[in-house]
Amino acid sequence: PREQIPIRLGENMAGLKYGVHIDLYKFFMNRSIQVYAFSDRYREHTLQEVASSILGEGKVEIEKPVSKLSVHDLAEYCFRDADLTYRLTEFDDDLVMKLLMVLSRIAIMPIEDVNRYGVSKWILSLLRYEHRRRGMLIPNPEDILRMKGETVTRAVIKGKKYRGAIVQQPVPGAHFNVVVLDFASLYPSIIRNWNLSYETVRCPHEECMDNRVPGTPHWVCKKRRGLMSLVIGSLRDLRIMWYKPLSKDKRLPEESRRWYSVVQGALKVILNASYGVFGSDIFPLYCPPLAESTTAIGRYAMTETVKRAVGLGINVIYGDTDSVFLENPSKEQIEELLDWAERELRIKLDVDKVYRYAVFSERKKNYFGVYPDGTVDIKGLTGKKRHVPPFLKKAFFELVEILRTVKREEDLEEAKEKIRDLVSSYYQKLREKKIPLKDLAFYVMLSQAPEKYATRPQHVKAALQLKATGVELGAGDIIGFVKVRGERGVKPVQLASVDEVDVEKYIEHMRSMFEQVLDALGIDFD
């Protein structure tokens, strides 16, 4: 009978009549979880990608459609899927389940809703709870807009409503003994210290209008503490002053440190999204001047810090949002800059990283740093990205290995010669068509069946060619394709031959990847 079926189906969800249903697909698809809880360890949201990235083990590989498998092979395939799903909840001492539980407590939401919804819903639930607890009216979105108005700064990035973080132009080249200073929880600290909230920004009190937000016509209330400032400030203090230090305290038992690490990680997820929700027009407490004021103060903090560093005689080689890169500063200069930031900006500045040396091109958000122990830190460079063909990725990491061995400025010239030989070697292999097809392939996941796409990006073109041969394809399938000469431009790797490969296109990809580093080292690709 229908009433005995324990599963309840909704429009976009399934629930249990007598239990809790956790949909791990939605959990791992949550961008905040992916970035802040798992440091972007996975890029796609398939079971294969998530499990192989986190557990180091993937699904059972099959060479024919599931419908064609024998009963034994099907059972093995399904059992592995179920086992991987379970292990994703229990790895690292039940990290995922503990994270969900802590987020549920912070957001004042049922654990199923935390799992189903994004971070903006978590923050909204918490703020609504605090409104009700204090007997405050929850305003309508149109009332906030009518009273507070829109933004006044012009966005640098197309499609954004207001100007965001500042990114300093890097000084190209190789720089030794690079110290990176970082503002601890920059935006949550700004919200806390500057009393930013939808009701305090552009408050109705004339006596507060002299309390201006730098670089904007906005002002902040001096007469009352804002709810957003209080809530986010409290969560920020709990993370920075309590849970994060405890998670690293070696005097505590391992079990306690693990728990504190989970809590500080959950707080980080919410804090890092806390300012952005107020700049989203679908958020019920949407307040453009609040989001704009937060980024304006962030830009002010960055520019003033750079000015102060230069005034102290430090060479600033790069700055990005909440980090300042300094070349060979003395210990005294660093300490003076840290003290100044806390005193003048009311934001804590810490030493985040120290590189033996770092290489910058003229491009922003693209650099390569080597720690004193030889570990490499790569930011934004194409060769690291997941969809790059295997031969380019291999060439890139060979380049990284050469640069990793550089310890002094004198070592750079020898490294440059090795890099020239490396680039020349791969260039010749491409020209002579000595690279196997599988190493030339781009691998991209389908988000839906290929025929359902409104446009025809390259991986979809290849998928449609493959489907025409009788191969069943759908959402989650990985398409490997190579770039070929002719009208089609691409072919699935299964149907292509080496002679069809468009060598010129691959050389352009190779040029684009290598030049990000070669330009900084003064090496010409040609």
The pLDDT, as a whole number, for residue 24 is 92
Domain span at 480: 437-500
Q: Indicate the residue among 117, 146, 179 that finishes a domain.
A: 117
pLDDT tens track for 258-289: 889 889 988 988 998 888 888 888 899 999 89
Indicate the SS3 state at residue 378. strand
Q: Indicate the residue among 346, 368, 390 that finishes a domain.
A: 368
The pLDDT, as a whole number, for residue 490 is 92
127 and 152 assigned to the same domain? yes
How many domains does the chain contain in total? 4
Q: How many residues does the chain have?
A: 526
220 and 341 assigned to the same domain? yes
Structure tokens at 264: 């500080």
DSSP string covering 9-35, please? E-SS-EEETTS----HHHHHH-HHIII
The CATH number of whichever domain residue 97 belongs to comes to 3.30.420.10
The pLDDT, as a whole number, for residue 339 is 95
101 and 130 assigned to the same domain? no
pTM for the full predicted model:
0.78
Strand partners, 480: 443
The pLDDT, as a whole number, for residue 158 is 47
pLDDT along the chain (526 residues), means of 10: 82 81 90 85 86 92 81 94 95 91 94 91 95 94 85 54 72 92 90 95 95 94 95 93 92 89 88 85 90 91 94 94 93 95 90 92 84 85 72 89 88 90 91 91 87 91 90 83 91 91 91 82 79
202 and 88 assigned to the same domain? no
262 and 349 assigned to the same domain? yes
Give CA separation, 444 vs 36, 354, 438, 509, in Å: 24, 35, 13, 16
Cβ-based neighbour number of residue 204 at 10 Å: 9
Is 526 domain-assigned?
no
Q: What is the CA radius of gyration of the chain?
A: 26
- Mark residue 443 as left, alpha or beta (left: phi above 0; alpha: psi -120 to 50; beta: remaining): beta
Asked if 291 contacts 279 with a C-beta cutoff of 8 angstroms, the reply is yes
